[in-house]
Amino acid sequence: MAGELDSVTRPLAFKIQGLTKSFGNRQVLRGLDLEIEAGKSVTVFGPNGAGKSTLVKILATIMNPTSGTVFINGQDLKQNAWAIRRHIGLITHQTLLYGNLTGRENLEFYGRMFDVPDLKSRIQEMVSLVGMTARQHDRVATLSRGMQQRFAIARALLHKPSIVLMDEPETGLDQEAIPLLWRAMPDNAENVRTVIHVTHSLERGLELGDRFVILDKGKIVYEGVREAIDLAGLKDVYRKSTSMST
């Protein structure tokens, strides 16, 4: 697959087959099959220990699967992890920012690492998007948690990724910034952005997503689309899985 972004034949953003992940004897993901079209927004729910963060790490290419195949934008994770990384932005509950550096310097660093063209103007753009122009020259460690997370969003979207992976991105984010995060999502050159959003909160997740997946004990126990949502069924499965995990 050549990965051509054509409105007629667009490759799947994610094609996951038989994905497993074990840490020694402990099986965290027990065989996931999932296909996500480009431009879709998928919310992944699940109790603690379901394997959500592990899934995100594998898709972000920072963890290797134990078995199974993962194709991102038509490219095999095993062979082309390097190339795939250019298209992925990661927002987690950790900011991934260096405390001693200023917000701007952090963005300069990541910009260099991602080979972002017109870095200076792009940084200017992102910094004002997240409303941090006034504080961009302050050391990140001196900023409040909410402000740090804003810079984290700027960092994640700096290189215009066509895929955004989010693991509890709203952690620490102040109230004003939350809509900011979601407004920033559609910003992309080709205007196609695939989002995978992992969250604990059923309400939040249901608000923003085209598709819903519930993960429990390393397996997908529910899959549904917004247009044909079986709300009662989803909530039922969700409640069952969260109550079973202690």
Partner 1 sequence: MKFWSKVFAIARKDTLSELRSREILSSVLMFALLVIVIYEFAFGGDPDTIKTVAPGMLWTTFVFAGMLSLNRAFIPEKEQGCLEGLMICPVSREAIYAGKAISSLLFMLIIEAIGLIAFTVLFNLPVISLPVITITVFTTIGFVAVGTLFSALSVNTKAREMVLPILFLPIVIPIIIGAVNATQAALASGSFSDVGSWLQIIIAFDVIFSVVSFLTFDFIVVE
Partner 2 sequence: MKKITLAILGLVLMLVDLYLVFNWVPVLQNNDGTVNLEQKILYLMIPTAWLAMLAFVITAICGIAFLAKKNEKWDVFAQSSAEVGIVFTTLACAVGAIWAKPAWGVWWDFGTPRLTTTLILWFIFLAYLLVRGLASEAYRGAVFASVVAIIGLADIPLIILSTTLWGNVSTMHPKEIVFQGGLDPKQGMLVGISVTTFTILFVWLLLLIDSIKRDEIELKRLKELNQA
203 binds partner 2 (CB under 8 A): no
Cβ nearer to partner 1, comparing 150 with 211: 150
Q: From the list partner 1, partner 2, none, which binds 237 (C-beta under 5 to 8 Å, kind-based)?
A: none
User: In which order are the strands placed within the sheet that holds 194-198?
Assistant: 88-91, 163-167, 194-198, 41-45, 211-216, 219-225
3-state helix, strand, coil in the chain (%, to 5): 35, 25, 40
- What minimum distance in Å lies between the beta carbon of 3 and partner 1? 15
Query: Contact, 127 vs 133, CB < 8 A?
Result: yes
| Residue 216: C-alpha distances to residues 27, 32, 47, 197 (Å) | 12, 11, 7, 16
Amino acid at 195: V
Residues in region 174-233 near partner 1 by CB under 8 A:
none
- What minimum distance in Å lies between the beta carbon of 203 and partner 1? 26
Query: Contact, 135 vs 104, CB < 8 A?
Result: no
Q: Which stretch binds partner 1 (CB under 8 A): 3-11, 112-120, 126-134, 191-199?
A: 112-120
Quickly list H helices, the chain: 52-59, 77-85, 103-113, 119-129, 145-157, 177-184, 202-207, 231-244
Q: From the list partner 1, partner 2, none, which binds 25 (C-beta under 5 to 8 Å, kind-based)?
A: partner 2
60 binds partner 1 (CB under 8 A): yes
Residues in region 65-84 near partner 1 by CB under 8 A:
82-83
Q: From the list partner 1, partner 2, none, which binds 212 (C-beta under 5 to 8 Å, kind-based)?
A: none
- The torsion angles phi and psi of 230, rounded to 5 degrees, stand at -100, 85
Amino acid at 234: L
Cβ nearer to partner 1, comparing 23 with 33: 23
Find the angle CA(196)-CA(162)-CA(211) to the nearest 5 degrees.
30
Residues in region 19-48 near partner 2 by CB under 8 A:
22-26
246 binds partner 2 (CB under 8 A): no
145 binds partner 1 (CB under 8 A): no
Could you list the residues that contact partner 2 (CB under 8 A)?
Answer: 22-26
Could you list the residues that contact partner 1 (CB under 8 A)?
Answer: 23, 57, 60-64, 82-83, 85-86, 88, 90, 92, 94-101, 105, 109-110, 112-115, 139, 155
